[in-house]
Structure 1
Amino acid sequence: MTDAAPSVTTTVSGTPVVLRAHGYEAAIASVGASLRSLTHEGRDLVVPFAADEVRPHFRGATLAPWPNRVVDGVHHFGGGEHQLALTEPARGHALHGLLGWVDWDVIATDDATVTLSATVPAQTGYPWWVEVSTTYRLGPDGLTQTVRATNHSPTAAPWGTGPHPYLVAGPGALDSWVLELPADTVLEVTPDRLSPVGVASVAVDAERFDFRAPRVLGAVEIDHAFTDLIRDAEGRATVTLTDPSGTGVAMTWAADCAWVQIHTADRPEAPASAAHRAGLAVEPMTCAPDAFNDDAYDFATGLIALDPEESHEVGWTISAR
């Protein structure tokens, strides 16, 4: 990999980078360090967006320093009360961290790899200085993204991360795709604001939540986090989607991500929205929704406390099936 030459943002979505290797092509947008598109032998594996388009919501973004929501934007990490900006106004929460709309720097790139970096500066609601970098790498097994964070603050910083791709199994409709989701437990949430309530067996509503045995998604609507993931001998969990045509896509991650958010991409403006149920959001997360308020819950949220100058690294892979 060579140092990237200085570049000028030439598209609405930021500096464009295209990677090609092993039959895969990945387009990365520097705004949000976002995965703009991913194909294998010309077939979409994620719902794409155009380079000259404002990224739709958080599609493909890198979420940091927290994924998902901080309820009411309020947290009490370190003993004090912190009020974050409410970036999900309809529900009144702080959504998906502080780097989703930042233009990350492209640090280095070659045909198969790109590294981007950004800094979370100390600010109201998050008074810690955290340096973040992410690397996308194409290999025979697909596209692997790793995220690394280092806390440059004098006190421990709350940290969490995850991606936000919408996976595409093939040409059929989402309702026809077969989902395998190896999770025993679902996070129950309030229906209006999706605020965490508690954890339950996926059997609490098996038609909606239990996909431990692969089956057709159908018309179910899901926007929930899952945990107690069933893993292979190497500790990896894999979510798989298969189209009736026989094509498919999978996402795999290690034990560093104990949670995964699944969303059937139901849009309130449906059916007018082309994004409505266009793909399945699969979001491995290092922590649960509202993990910054870890003390408020009687289950393990997975919140990471990064000590001064401590680093944390995690990754996941999207592959064609």
Structure 2
Amino acid sequence: MPYEHRMPYEYRMPDEYRIAEGRLGDEPTVTVSAPDGAARAVLALRGATLLSWQVAREAPGQLSEPTELAELTDGYRDEAELRSQDGVRAGLLAPFSNRVADGRYHYGGHDHDLLPGRLGDRTIYHGFAREAPFRLVGATTTADSARLLLRSTSIRPDRYPGYPFALDLDVEYTIGRRELGIEIRATNVGETTAPYASGWHPYFTLSRPVDELVLQIPAHTLIRTDASLVPLRGKEALLPLNRCPDLDFRTPRRLGDAVIDACFADLAPGPDGRSETVLGDPATGAGLRVWQHGGYMHVFTGDTLARDRRASIALEPVEAPTDAYNRPEHADALSLEPGRQREFRFGVTYRPSTH
């Protein structure tokens, strides 16, 4: 399906954020820049994918000339990487996140096969949105931030095998000087109730190997899985973290050589209602706070990436755990009725170096 792409607004006011079109090979992109050069984000319209997020290393009021920007995400670097989807770098995950066991699920009284005819490896994960065509349908800018609204209408009953439902997806990015916020909104435009959950799969970097960083996760429960990373049945999947010291990051801990590909549940919210997973560099004091309203936090230390293994870490806010489509206890939470809309909000805040 070709991209339906247009730039409805372009701003050139010197005291406001600027929005400009661009290209990554043949893939259309949108670049957002702060008026003082202290922040920059690049998005691809394919999947509404964040390619780069850069923020000034200096604290506010200490900006040098020219401003030195820190790259905080490890996104796709070229068109080939974006199209290959290796590692799902900063992919927006919908209508499901992580794996659906064996590519099959039962919903609405029917059996569904997301990989019809596939023999052998039937691994499927992270939904369809990450490769869907989006278009920019709205933008606003101020001196402090820019807001972009991207939309996809590609999820239709005849488009994706095993998902006979119709969804419109809106993705709203809010880009400020030290914070990037995302809201995914799904509207069921079909005639039947659809299973749906969303999430985000970003890789973050503080310009040091993962081993040297400190992680804190406000979770009380680990989702236990089998060898194929599919959660165990029922309550067997729920392991209190006080019984799993190797993966207990409630108190900040250095990652070291820990190999993690796990989902954390029962996230404790802060005073503002947001749960925050914190990644820090003890050598500089710089850090990132990945926040979310509800859901789960999936952590992956990048050990199997094709490029730059363990150079960055995936901190993934997700609405539902792996294989939620096959877990009866999640059926009500997944159900999106005709005409109804659901949103999931998350983002990340940068804390500059204190040294």
The answer to whether the superposition gives a TM-score over 0.5 is: yes
Question: Where does residue 139 of structure 2 map in the other structure?
Answer: 109
C-alpha separation in 1, matches of 2:324 and 2:184: 18
Question: Where does residue 37 of structure 1 map in the other structure?
Answer: 52
In 2, are the aligned partners of 1:287 and 1:302 still within 8 Å (CA)? Answer: no
**SS of aligned partner of 1:96:** coil
Q: Check if 1:80 corresponds to 2:110.
A: yes
Aligned-pair distance for 1:90? Answer: 8.3
Aligned-pair distance for 1:199? Answer: 1.5
C-alpha separation in 1, matches of 2:26 and 2:245: 39
Q: What is the correspondence of 1:7-22 to structure 2 with a 5 Å cutoff?
A: 10-12=23-25, 14-21=27-34
Q: Percent identity?
A: 28
Aligned-pair distance for 1:275? Answer: 2.3
**SS of aligned partner of 1:100:** helix
Q: Check if 1:3 corresponds to 2:3.
A: no
**Per-residue Cα deviation, 1:22-73 (whole angstroms, up to 9, x for no partner):** 8221110111111101111111111133244422521011111111111111
C-alpha separation in 2, matches of 1:106 and 1:100: 15
In 2, are the aligned partners of 1:286 and 1:302 still within 8 Å (CA)? Answer: no
Relative to structure 1, the CA distance from residue 231 to residue 91 in structure 2 (aligned partners, 3 Å threshold; closer, same or farther) is: farther
Question: Where does residue 144 of structure 1 map in the other structure?
Answer: 181
C-alpha separation in 1, matches of 2:332 and 2:260: 22
Q: What is the correspondence of 1:85-164 to structure 2 with a 5 Å cutoff?
A: 85=115, 92-110=122-140, 112-119=146-153, 120-123=155-158, 124-164=161-201
Write the letter of the residue equivalent to 1:313: E
C-alpha separation in 2, matches of 1:81 and 1:275: 39
Write the letter of the residue equivalent to 1:184: H
Question: Where does residue 277 of structure 1 map in the other structure?
Answer: 310
C-alpha separation in 1, matches of 2:119 and 2:172: 31
Aligned-pair distance for 1:11? Answer: 2.9
Structure 2 regions of 5+ residues with no counterpart? Answer: 1-6, 11-19, 57-68
Question: Where does residue 188 of structure 1 map in the other structure?
Answer: 224
Q: Check if 1:54 corresponds to 2:92.
A: no
Write the letter of the residue equivalent to 2:123: H
Relative to structure 1, the CA distance from residue 114 to residue 80 in structure 2 (aligned partners, 3 Å threshold; closer, same or farther) is: same
Q: TM-score, normalised by structure 2?
A: 0.80
Q: What is the correspondence of 1:107-256 to structure 2 with a 5 Å cutoff?
A: 107-110=137-140, 112-119=146-153, 120-123=155-158, 124-168=161-205, 170-191=206-227, 193-197=228-232, 198-207=237-246, 209-243=247-281, 244-255=283-294
Aligned-pair distance for 1:89? Answer: 9.1
Q: CA RMSD in A?
A: 2.4
Question: Where does residue 67 of structure 1 map in the other structure?
Answer: 97
Q: TM-score, normalised by structure 1?
A: 0.88
Relative to structure 1, the CA distance from residue 301 to residue 151 in structure 2 (aligned partners, 3 Å threshold; closer, same or farther) is: closer
In 2, are the aligned partners of 1:13 and 1:29 still within 8 Å (CA)? Answer: no
**Per-residue Cα deviation, 1:98-156 (whole angstroms, up to 9, x for no partner):** 12212212222355222211121114311110000101111355011111110011111
Relative to structure 1, the CA distance from residue 156 to residue 13 in structure 2 (aligned partners, 3 Å threshold; closer, same or farther) is: farther
C-alpha separation in 2, matches of 1:91 and 1:252: 34
**Per-residue Cα deviation, 1:149-183 (whole angstroms, up to 9, x for no partner):** 10011111111001110111x23211010001111
Count of residues in correspondence between the two structures: 306
C-alpha separation in 1, matches of 2:333 and 2:302: 26
Question: Where does residue 42 of structure 2 map in the other structure?
Answer: 27
In 2, are the aligned partners of 1:294 and 1:303 still within 8 Å (CA)? Answer: no
Write the letter of the residue equivalent to 1:212: R
Relative to structure 1, the CA distance from residue 171 to residue 11 in structure 2 (aligned partners, 3 Å threshold; closer, same or farther) is: closer
Structure 1 regions of 5+ residues with no counterpart? Answer: none
Relative to structure 1, the CA distance from residue 38 to residue 114 in structure 2 (aligned partners, 3 Å threshold; closer, same or farther) is: same
C-alpha separation in 2, matches of 1:11 and 1:172: 26
Write the letter of the residue equivalent to 1:178: V
Write the letter of the residue equivalent to 1:44: E
C-alpha separation in 2, matches of 1:49 and 1:75: 31
Counterpart among 338, 345, 350 of residue 308 in structure 1: 338
Larger radius of gyration: 2
Write the letter of the residue equivalent to 1:45: L
Write the letter of the residue equivalent to 2:284: S
